Every structure is written in C-alpha cells, then in structure tokens.
Amino acid sequence: LSTTQGSGCYIPLRHIGTAAPGTLDLSGDASGKAPAQIPMPAQAQTLYLLDGHAQLYRAYHAHARENRRATDGTPTGALYGFFTQIRTIRSRFKPQLLGCVFDPKEGSFREREYQGYKAHRAPMPEELRQQIPLAFELCRGYGIPALQVPDFEADDILGALAKQAVA
C-alpha cells in the first residue's frame, strides 16, 4: 500500500496470505484481473493502516452536533473528522505507506455463522452510511488505497496486511 502507487482506488482482496515474501498481496481488482503484488522495499518503512469504519464512526460522533453538510444537504461531519485524522497521521507520523480498510456493505461471514454477532449494536445511522462512499472518494483523491473485501471485516484484512508487511 503506497500513497504514491495507483489511484488509491477500491481494490477487492481475493487471495490474502498468498503473497510472495517481501510483497503485499492485493489480489485482483474491480475488473477481476490477475493478482497484483506490491513489492515492499528492503529498508524499513512506516506502514499505517486505518480501519475506515472505526475512524468514520469516531468522527461521526465527534462532529455530530456540528451538523456539517455540503451545499446539497449531504452530511459531511464524519468526512471532515476522517480527513482531519488522515491529515494528522500524515503530519505527525509521516508514514511512507498508508492504507484504509472498510467493512463490507453486505456484512461478514461471522454474521451468517453466528446469529448473535453484534446483535447488541445499534444499526448504523443513515447520515453516517451516506458518507461511506464519499470516504472512498476522499481516499482516492489523496492517493490512499481504500480496500473492502466481501465477507471479511476490516479487522480481518488489517491483520492479514500487517502480517504480510512484516513477513
């Protein structure tokens, strides 16, 4: 995951864990092409991976009272907070590699296998849900790869990517 590679577009991961040593496996793209592996430099670099949904939730609640909106009425408070977090990460930690992972829209395999999974949680607020596609656009605009994998939560993907990065 590099802030300078590609357009920062939505890349579904299909074969996590099959990367050759020294690479991150971002298998397949939206067109279903063959697996892509991004070479990791031999020298140590800072990799910063964000849980996009967690950061958006945090930003949503932090800025809910401000009622930020675009001129067309679209809520933007979570996006504002999300962008502020990214800007802070870049200036404070100066990561050479930055990526963002989101939970799948249709849920994960855990929800199918365990009916009580996350049953205690309130549904996502509609105003937050409207901002998720915009968060992908924001990432794309800043050259940050934004990943979303069907059936796998962001935590699963973050763990797999972190493991690949240190391999």
pLDDT digits (tens, 9 = 90+) for 4-41: 333 233 333 333 334 444 545 544 444 434 444 445 55
3-class secondary-structure state, position 148? strand
CA–CA distance, 167 with 162 (Å, rounded to integer): 9
3-class secondary-structure state, position 44? coil
Let me know: does 85 contact 157? Beta carbons within 8 Å.
no
**The model's pTM:** 0.72
pLDDT digits (tens, 9 = 90+) for 71-122: 999 999 999 999 999 999 999 999 988 999 999 988 899 888 888 888 888 9
Which residues, 6 or more positions from 7, have their beta carbon under 8 angstroms from its beta carbon? 140, 143
Report, as an integer, the average pLDDT of 51-69.
Answer: 94
For residue 21, give the nearest of 43, 3, 42, 46 by alpha carbon: 42
pLDDT at 86: 95
Q: How far is CA 55 from the centre of its chain?
A: 9
Question: Burial level of 30, CB count in 10 A (0-12/13-18/19+)?
Answer: exposed
